[in-house]
Amino acid sequence: MPTFVVMVLSNPREGMEDEFNDWYENTHLEEVLGTTNFRSAQRFVLDEAKGASSGHKYLAMYETEAESAEEVVADLEARRHERQQSKTINRRDAALWVFSPTGERHEVRR
């Protein structure tokens, strides 16, 4: 079964960054892992940019296995009602992308 990487780019609503980070890190990631077939989750903050600018400060990256990208999205949507939705996320500019591998994974061999 193919592995997919799911990337979610987001920003907090103005003045709600601390609450946004607390909800995302201490509630949302675990709820996503508990209500989907996703096998890992990790967040990142943008520290440096070169080239095209990003309108997003935060990235959440998930890994999962599925038969198709459509199945990945369906899995995420199917139990959304079981996860706490936060008013701290700016939903107007949030984005979700599902990527599939185009080649083999390369790793450092030491």
State pLDDT tens for residues 41-51: 999 999 999 99
State pLDDT tens for residues 37-86: 999 999 999 999 999 888 999 999 999 999 999 999 999 999 999 999 99
CA–CA gap between residue 93 and residue 9 (Å, rounded): 8
Indicate whether 89 pLDDT > 90. Answer: yes
Q: What local confidence, expressed as pLDDT, does residue 73 receive?
A: 97
The domains found in the chain, sorted by start residue, are 3-99 (3.30.70.100)
Q: What is the pTM of this model?
A: 0.91
